[in-house]
Amino acid sequence: MARVDTIVLGAGIVGTSVALHLVKRGVAVALVDRGGPGEGTSYGNTGIIEGNTIFPAAFPSRLSALIRVALKRAPEANYHLSFLPAVAPWLMAFRAASQPDRLIETAQVIRPLMTRAVAEHEALAAEAGAEKYFRRTGWLKLYRSDASFNAQARELELAARFSIANVPLDAEAALALEPSLKPAFRHAVHWTGAVSVSNPLAVTRAYAARFAALGGLTFSGDARSLHRADGRFWRVDTAAGPLDAGEVVVALGPWAPDVLKPLGIRLPLGVKRGYHRHYRPRGNAGLSRPILDADNGYCITPMEQGIRLTTGAEFAARDAAPTPVQFDRVLPRARELFDLGDAVEDKPWLGSRPCFADSRPVISRAPGQSGLWLAYGHGHWGLSLGPATGRLLAELMTGATPFCDPAPYAAERFSH
């Protein structure tokens, strides 16, 4: 029987960062996953470490946009009709949280984490030898019309208030930054403080290797085996036998409810599924940073495997079969902007962003279960916020002064 102080369930960017921060504070930690580190949602994202996102992705405010989604013509979103009754309460809560005053409130409460996103990654990357994956070139949002550019005026106003660096550009100036882009857009904003990575999987693997080098233990096991043992410990069954600890962190991203529901913890997590596929650039075309086509809700970003095209949200059951119809809608648009050649893989990758309707993660004790901690629900920003989350939770668990007020991220917010 192995025993440690803390078991961290889930070796995505969030769980791996929590485990690494705990082991750096002298805690004996075991990191448990059924696969390898970073192979879940943390593998397939756009690789942007934002720090400068102000508003969360919002429910469409314009009727025309909503109708486009409803008619399944929207490039930015898709849904499974059969899933709508199940997701309706979550969508209503998401719509309420997308009202202008609530978006500003979210922007304010997420700031303390966001402002640490890049710095906390850089600190871990330096000690893990992962700096080679990091690009300090910001990211570029493109707008095809004056209307879509003007629609984000409020975001630029708030950016000025929060002192978040950005440079609005005309098409010519944007093309000077990214010469392989084609002039299918009118405006751009270069968010200069953002960082991106060329291989998110390799980054999480590097942090996991650092965790192991500092004495952290890694086990293969099914988190759903979590149960109380001897009235004192939490126990998980692993490939190497049972593993006990006084404290457990659930960092299972979209799979967290599989473990929490049997324990009576029912927090309203939804998922926004998303796809990616890599394409070979034609000729000498290349990119230096992620690009968002704001009018069509997809990104293209340079990765080690090729140019990764990532889609917006799909509302469907987490485990339903893939329906990558958004590629048919966005690929022609993407080819208007960049010379994408053949696909690298036979099929697109599918992942599920773990999302609470208020666009904040839960980073806190679990309600009603001693020794159980939660770190999940990072939605669109999990890659960015993993290391900052790791630091915050490790500070809370070890009784250190947290670097920011953790109250907005408490699970209890769903009880009132």
Ligand X SMILES: Cc1cc2nc3c(=O)[nH]c(=O)nc-3n(C[C@H](O)[C@H](O)[C@H](O)COP(=O)(O)OP(=O)(O)OC[C@H]3O[C@@H](n4cnc5c(N)ncnc54)[C@H](O)[C@@H]3O)c2cc1C
Give CA–CA dist 393/290, Å, rounded.
29
- The continuous run of DSSP H or E covering 189 comes out as strand 187-191
Query: CA distances (Å), 172 to each of 141, 168, 270, 277, 337, in order?
Result: 14, 12, 41, 29, 14
When the beta carbons of 166 and 204 are compared against ligand X, the nearer one is 204
Nearest to 10 by CA among 378, 411, 401, 410: 378
Query: What's the closest the beta carbon of residue 190 comes to ligand X, in angstroms?
Result: 16
When the beta carbons of 46 and 166 are compared against ligand X, the nearer one is 46
The DSSP 8-state label assigned to residue 378 in this structure reads B
Task: Enter the tokens of residue 131.
Answer: 């700096």
When the beta carbons of 255 and 338 are compared against ligand X, the nearer one is 255
When the beta carbons of 136 and 282 are compared against ligand X, the nearer one is 136
Query: What's the closest the beta carbon of residue 201 comes to ligand X, in angstroms?
Result: 10
Query: What's the closest the beta carbon of residue 253 comes to ligand X, in angstroms?
Result: 2
Tell me if residue 308 falls in helix, strand or coil: strand
Query: What's the closest the beta carbon of residue 313 comes to ligand X, in angstroms?
Result: 9
Cα 164-170-176 angle, rounded to 5 deg: 95
Contacts of 95 (CB under 8 A, 6+ apart): 59
Query: What's the closest the beta carbon of residue 223 comes to ligand X, in angstroms?
Result: 3
When the beta carbons of 350 and 396 are compared against ligand X, the nearer one is 350
When the beta carbons of 171 and 223 are compared against ligand X, the nearer one is 223
- The continuous run of DSSP H or E covering 250 comes out as strand 241-250
Query: What's the closest the beta carbon of residue 16 comes to ligand X, in angstroms?
Result: 7
Interface residue list for ligand X (CB under 6 A): 10-15, 33-35, 39-42, 44-48, 222-224, 251-255, 258, 274, 276, 310, 351, 353-354, 376, 378-384
Give CA–CA dist 108/114, Å, rounded.
10
Do residues 235 and 242 touch, judged by C-beta distance below 8 A?
A: yes
Do residues 149 and 170 touch, judged by C-beta distance below 8 A?
A: no
* Residue tagged 């330096």 (tokens): 126
Query: What's the closest the beta carbon of residue 268 comes to ligand X, in angstroms?
Result: 16
Helices 100-128 and 200-213, interaxial angle, to 10°?
60
When the beta carbons of 171 and 299 are compared against ligand X, the nearer one is 299
